[in-house]
Structure 1
Amino acid sequence: MARSPFRLPGGVYNAVPPRIVFGPGAVAEVADAVARHGARRALVLSTPGRGALAERVRDLLGAACVGILPEAVSQVPIELARRGRERARAMGADCLVTVGGGAAIGLGKGIALELPLPIVAIPTTYSGSEMTGFCGITIDGVKRMHASLNMLAGTVIYDPELSLPLPLDVSAASALNALAHCIDGIYVPTVSPVMALAAVEGARVLMEALPRVSADPGDLAARTDLLYGAYLGGAALTGGFALQHGVAHVLGGSFGIAHGLSHALVLPHVAAYNQRFAAPQLAPLAATVGDGNLGGAIFDILVEAGLPTSLREIGLPRESLERAAAITVETDNGLNPAPVTIEAVRRILDDAHEGRRPA
């Protein structure tokens, strides 16, 4: 069958980490991963709340660890990235080991952007950021995207056992973040055919596994499937991202909404808007939801998972929508299949604010 021609950009687009370790108990291989990079002075990065896990990783590394930096926060403030960079230099670190969710992984990227050290990523959520060389860094209250192979992990260790303690609401929001990667990545003109296939499979796995985790958060098999879907979603994201990420990053970087939740709340509405302009690309996903209403099906997942369904519900004032729309348009990367205008983004935000199910 004839295929349409395609051209892919060079550099970081569609680039994935060269080594993946996946399976229960895989965290035990962290010392081997660091050694494979020829490193002997690894710096472990985590959030303050993941201190115990960071200490476990430090103990696994033994003499190959120079310390822990438990200061990661969401949205990667540029000031923190610079401070982490100076700490890494002062400690003589020759490798970064990021432990936790998107905040820890983002801090590692922020450090490596200008201090190119190998990264071993150990994700404990479903954010997928560990798969890409992209990072949103908040500068002067606006989250701006950066892309560099310096930020691409050399090794990613996926251990589903580490996701078991993740609270159900955080798990669901993070899984919808992963689903957003699959949907937002499938229609950008920079995605490779291989990554588009990963997006379709990732979305299928995520939408099947999330209800199982919601029914039994301790189900390791379901958690393993969810983590596998997140891995595929992260791979799909390497092809690029569009309006979904633009809106979610504005809500997180400029208005302080948690990263996973910002994706979850706008995804039904961005999917509904873009489905009208990218129906062929989204057809494999729409075919899995019965009536083909992809946005409505995603909204129903929010409800079933017990997540908030509106921006109003989590306290975002209506008067913030105009500024959020303006920043989204200003920072748009031009890859969305549908027009990114103030009017279109404002309608998406208005529907998300009121929690309207896409028809």
Structure 2
Amino acid sequence: MDHFLYEALPMRVRFGDNSLEELPAELGALGASTALVLTTPQQADLGEQVNGLLGRAGAGVYPHAAMHVPVATVTAAREHAARVGADALICAGGGSTTGLGKAIALDSDLPIIAVPTTYAGSEMTPIWGMTEESVKRTGRNLRVLPRSVVYDPTLTVGLPVGISVTSGLNAVAHAVEALYAPDASPVLSLMAAEGVAKMLKALPRIAGDPADATGRSDALYAAWLCGAVLGATTMGLHHKLCHILGGTFDLPHAETHAIVLPYVMAFNLQSSPDALRAMEKATGSDSPATAVRKLERSLDVPPSLAAIGMPEDGIDEVVRQAVDAPYSNPRPVTESDLVGLLEAAFCGSEPE
């Protein structure tokens, strides 16, 4: 067996139906006394529910999290947290809400408890991102890693099927990149493969019956695994492109990841035999990229980047930013490679 380094990230995970009710105990375990609840405007009711569970420890709800974490939103939220005397943050929602909490924690050291309601996986990583003037910056810092994550599958039952599917495929993208990351390890590869297999089986169950308890639980478990391996490895071409696409054109985060996923898989897996074998087993196909693309079509994922609002003349700008910023990848990436990959994803042609 090759040499490798594995370092577990320091956090608590509480998983199970109705585990939200244990949130006060998680806050107590942090030694915190006043928590500000963060949500998006659409999940303000959930925020109020969470704040009510905290009793006197609840400092209210800040329902202004937004996609791609605009810097102006971060500044306003950080000032609000200081005004209410919060010594902890509770992020109740998806990746945008967790992202806002991380951005606040980056400069304030406020500990985070994440309560995920999607399958984005951001809660398991020390990766932060913020967008300013159509440019998204990302980085890694253990200060932003949630100290505790409360996974309650019942909170995901109301998640619309379309968002459930694209969110789950976003998680799959995390695991795929972890399989061929330069700092992968046998332990992380097992987690990644399990996460992909579980998610790809759970999503059709959810699409068939959004209230399927097993499907929801399996998808959230898979999201945990996929997020954890992303948090422990180096991001590559897939995440680089999606961050540029989202930050530059304000494209929906999960849909962008879902659309780009099979194209980057087709490009990279041929250069990583171990990752290819793992994905063949996880998808049950000798052409994993094609299998994922076929699944996406059956689950009504938007067919192309054009379908979610990317302008055709934006390809050159994405290529420029990708070439200018170095990133890890299992095979060299030329400007011509990027143009071909992005044109295919823009049009929705079959991955090759």
Report the TM-score range of the alignment, normalised by the length of the smaller protein: over 0.9
Q: Distance in 1 between matches of 2:241 and 2:157?
A: 29
Unaligned runs of 5+ in 1: 9-13
Contact 1:125 1:171 in 2 (8 A): yes
The aligned counterpart of 1:212 is: 205
Structure-to-structure mapping, 1:157-168, within 5 angstroms? 157-168=150-161
AA aligned to 1:142 is V
Contact 2:262 2:293 in 1 (8 A): yes
AA aligned to 1:4 is D
Residue identity over aligned pairs, in percent, reads 39
2:344 aligned residue (340, 347, 351) = 351
SS of the aligned residue for 2:308 comes to coil
Contact 1:118 1:154 in 2 (8 A): yes
SS of the aligned residue for 1:352 comes to helix
- Which deviations, in whole Å up to 9, do the C-alpha atoms of 1:141-163 show, x marking residues without a partner? 11111111110111000011111
AA aligned to 2:338 is V
AA aligned to 1:323 is E
2:292 matched to 1:294? Answer: no
SS of the aligned residue for 1:144 comes to strand
2:241 aligned residue (226, 238, 247) = 247
Q: Distance in 2 between matches of 1:96 and 1:160?
A: 21
Q: Distance in 1 between matches of 2:239 and 2:268?
A: 13
Deviation of the 1:308 alpha carbon: 1.1
The aligned counterpart of 1:262 is: 256
Q: Distance in 1 between matches of 2:298 and 2:210?
A: 14
1:5 aligned residue (3, 6, 11) = 3
SS of the aligned residue for 1:173 comes to helix
SS of the aligned residue for 1:113 comes to helix
The RMSD of aligned alpha carbons is 1.4
Deviation of the 1:354 alpha carbon: 1.1
Structure-to-structure mapping, 1:133-152, within 5 angstroms? 133-152=126-145
The aligned counterpart of 1:188 is: 181
SS of the aligned residue for 1:351 comes to helix
What is the TM-score of this pair, normalised by structure 2?
0.96
Q: Decide whether aligned partners of structure 1 residues 76 and 217 sit closer, same or farther in structure 2, where only a CA change above 3 A counts.
A: same
Deviation of the 1:191 alpha carbon: 2.7
Please, which moves more after superposition, 193-202 or 54-63? 193-202
2:16 matched to 1:18? Answer: no
Deviation of the 1:186 alpha carbon: 1.2
1:326 aligned residue (314, 320, 326) = 320
Q: Distance in 1 between matches of 2:282 and 2:141?
A: 35
Contact 2:92 2:116 in 1 (8 A): yes
Please, which moves more after superposition, 83-92 or 160-169? 83-92
Q: Decide whether aligned partners of structure 1 residues 95 and 288 sit closer, same or farther in structure 2, where only a CA change above 3 A counts.
A: closer
Q: Distance in 1 between matches of 2:284 and 2:51?
A: 48
Q: Distance in 1 between matches of 2:193 and 2:326?
A: 24
Deviation of the 1:229 alpha carbon: 0.5
2:126 matched to 1:106? Answer: no
Contact 1:17 1:131 in 2 (8 A): no
SS of the aligned residue for 1:114 comes to helix
Contact 1:126 1:175 in 2 (8 A): yes
2:173 matched to 1:175? Answer: no
SS of the aligned residue for 1:326 comes to helix
Q: Distance in 2 between matches of 1:33 and 1:289?
A: 36
Contact 2:78 2:104 in 1 (8 A): yes
2:147 aligned residue (130, 151, 154) = 154
Deviation of the 1:290 alpha carbon: 4.2
2:96 matched to 1:96? Answer: no
Unaligned runs of 5+ in 2: none
Q: Decide whether aligned partners of structure 1 residues 341 and 137 sit closer, same or farther in structure 2, where only a CA change above 3 A counts.
A: farther
The aligned counterpart of 1:337 is: 330
The aligned counterpart of 2:272 is: 278
Deviation of the 1:311 alpha carbon: 1.2
Q: Decide whether aligned partners of structure 1 residues 146 and 288 sit closer, same or farther in structure 2, where only a CA change above 3 A counts.
A: closer
Contact 2:193 2:282 in 1 (8 A): no
1:52 aligned residue (45, 49, 52) = 45
Q: Distance in 2 between matches of 1:18 and 1:350?
A: 40
Contact 2:191 2:225 in 1 (8 A): yes
Q: Distance in 1 between matches of 2:157 and 2:92?
A: 15
2:49 matched to 1:40? Answer: no
Contact 1:212 1:222 in 2 (8 A): yes
Contact 2:178 2:229 in 1 (8 A): yes
- Which deviations, in whole Å up to 9, do the C-alpha atoms of 1:132-183 show, x marking residues without a partner? 1001211331111111111011100001111111111111000000100110
SS of the aligned residue for 2:307 comes to coil
Contact 2:319 2:339 in 1 (8 A): yes
Q: Distance in 1 between matches of 2:227 and 2:9?
A: 9
